[in-house]
């Protein structure tokens, strides 16, 4: 009986001569819809594609622009968007949905809306003019707009003696763009966060602490790839919180510092790929370490030390400069008890524990070149550049070769150094000018570009090229 039933089923399938031809419905032909629409904040945004269809009256148009800042979308209906763009200078994902009401078919078309301001392309420059901190903006056409902070914030002034300008951006969230600037100074309120799109003040440095310390003295800080700040403040190590959404008002705020009995030199090594940070205790004059499994924790000198060239726990130098290159080797420069300028190098690795390897301690090759105001910068290949008066020198620790770059700064002291372009271009500043110097392979500082008209001594700069 089972076999007979199977044969009947097979026979039924064999006799099925149904017509399964499928007729593909007509799709709208959409043209003149760009992939990116650039619009300045406050200007009109007009998106008007051309749509060809045999029954245009059957089509319905729905537009959506996703705006994560407000946790919502902007929606429009009709064959075109016509609106005043006012949501901000950012890149927004947008979609047009065309629905054929006669058959329910939907057709999707995506594009980008790129919001712009006067500050979306150009260079923000920090300078010092008679002790005062000045923020200027160099437009793409080379026009210098000085005192933009005071213009955008009437009655407000930045503190005296500027230290740093940092542009924050999140490298893991598209579109990548500078979301804000931090200006750090030695005087006044010591630090201010500024909107990158309007140059308006967002908050003081004290307002970036859940509980501000009694004194706030910024050392050197860095902007991380997570759009947060790490650095040394009042001798303690701080890391901005990243355990929430980057648009949350609490994002990047400082909690308590890493607890412990230590007093750090202004510069620390914030490893971006391994779970540790390194610093230098300027009182005990020793290398100290912090684990970082989400929150930094001070472990002092309980790291594993190898190598017998010098004792990392008894370095004994008053540091002038300290850095880690490519999350690996660390270099420092400082004076010993006799005033001799010394250079140290040690390796760093994480093997389930922190291991530091002492490589060398030696007298710096040309100590007379190092001045109290010397600036330093390093390239990924462990090549260092430093200023000495009106010159910049290239230093290779491997063979201790020191040679001056070819650029003539007209007798003006070089007041800033900073790498861009993956270490191929060096930004250098003097009174009134900002230089881009070619230090790529085989080059020794030939001028790529020079910008004049900066008020006072150039201290720092951030190039913004959002698209």
Strand partners, 129: 132
pLDDT tens digits along 127-152: 999 999 999 999 989 999 999 999 99
pLDDT tens digits along 435-454: 999 999 999 999 999 999 99
> Which domains does the chain carry?
29-116 (2.60.40.10)
Q: How many CB atoms lie within 10 A of CB 199?
A: 21
Percent of the chain with pLDDT over 70: 95
Mean local confidence (pLDDT), 272-300: 96
pLDDT at 218: 96
Asked if pLDDT for residue 15 goes beyond 80, the answer is no
pLDDT tens digits along 196-251: 988 999 999 999 999 999 999 999 999 999 999 999 999 999 999 998 888 888 99
- Residue 411: both structure tokens together: 């007798």
Q: What is the pTM of this model?
A: 0.83
Asked if pLDDT for residue 174 goes beyond 90, the answer is no
Mean local confidence (pLDDT), 264-292: 96
pLDDT at 246: 86
Three-state DSSP string of 310-369: CCHHHCCCEEEEEEECCCCCEEEEEECCCCCEEEEEEEEEECCCEEEEEEEEEECCCHHH
pLDDT tens digits along 56-109: 999 999 999 998 877 788 999 999 999 988 877 778 999 999 999 999 999 999
Is the distance from CB of 59 to CB of 51 less than 8 angstroms? yes
Least confidently predicted of 105-119, 322-336, 359-373, 432-446: 105-119
**Mean of pLDDT over the chain:** 92
CA distance 465 to 467: 6
pLDDT at 115: 85
pLDDT at 22: 67
Q: How many CB atoms lie within 10 A of CB 292?
A: 19
pLDDT at 298: 98
pLDDT at 9: 45
């Amino acid at each position: 009986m089972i076999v007979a039933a199977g044969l009947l089923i097979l026979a039924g399938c064999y006799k099925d001569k149904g017509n399964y031809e499928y007729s593909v419905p007509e799709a709208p032909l959409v043209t003149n819809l760009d992939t990116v629409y650039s619009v300045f904040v406050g200007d009109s945004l007009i998106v008007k594609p051309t749509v060809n269809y045999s029954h245009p009256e059957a089509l319905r148009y729905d537009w959506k622009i996703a705006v994560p800042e407000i946790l919502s979308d902007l929606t429009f209906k009709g064959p075109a968007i016509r609106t005043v763009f006012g949501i901000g200078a950012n890149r927004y994902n947008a979609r047009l949905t065309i629905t054929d009401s006669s058959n329910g078919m939907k057709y999707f078309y995506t594009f980008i809306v790129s919001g712009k301001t006067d500050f979306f392309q150009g260079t923000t420059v920090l300078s010092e003019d008679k002790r005062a901190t000045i923020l200027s903006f160099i437009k793409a056409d080379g026009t210098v707009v000085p005192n933009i902070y005071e213009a955008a914030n009437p009655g407000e002034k930045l503190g005296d003696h500027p230290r740093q300008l940092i542009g924050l951006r999140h490298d893991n969230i598209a579109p990548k763009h500078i979301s804000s600037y931090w200006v750090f100074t030695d005087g006044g309120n010591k630090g201010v966060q500024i909107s990158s799109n309007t140059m308006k003040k967002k908050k003081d440095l004290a307002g970036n602490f859940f509980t501000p310390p009694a004194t706030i003295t910024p050392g050197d800080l860095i902007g991380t790839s997570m759009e947060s700040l790490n650095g040394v403040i009042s001798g303690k190590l701080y890391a901005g919180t990243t355990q929430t959404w980057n648009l949350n008002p609490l994002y990047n705020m400082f909690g308590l510092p890493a607890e412990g009995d230590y007093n750090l030199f202004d510069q620390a090594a914030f490893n971006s790929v391994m779970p540790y940070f390194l610093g230098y205790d300027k009182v005990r004059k020793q290398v100290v370490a912090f684990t970082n499994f989400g929150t930094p924790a001070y472990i002092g000198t309980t790291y594993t030390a190898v190598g017998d060239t010098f004792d990392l726990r008894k370095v004994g130098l008053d540091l002038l400069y300290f850095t880690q290159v490519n999350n690996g080797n660390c270099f420092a420069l400082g004076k010993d008890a006799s005033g001799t300028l010394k250079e140290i190098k040690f390796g760093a690795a994480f093997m389930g524990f922190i291991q530091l390897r002492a490589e060398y301690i030696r007298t710096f090759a040309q100590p007379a070149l190092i001045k109290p105001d010397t600036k330093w910068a390093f390239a990924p290949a462990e090549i260092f550049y430093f200023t000495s008066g009106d010159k910049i020198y290239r230093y290779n620790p491997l063979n201790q070769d020191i040679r001056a770059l070819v650029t003539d700064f007209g007798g003006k002291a070089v007041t800033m150094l900073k790498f861009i372009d993956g270490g191929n271009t060096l930004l250098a500043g003097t009174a009134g000018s900002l230089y881009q110097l070619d230090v790529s392979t085989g080059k020794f500082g030939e001028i790529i570009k020079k910008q004049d008209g900066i008020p006072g001594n150039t201290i720092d700069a951030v190039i913004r090229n959002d698209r």
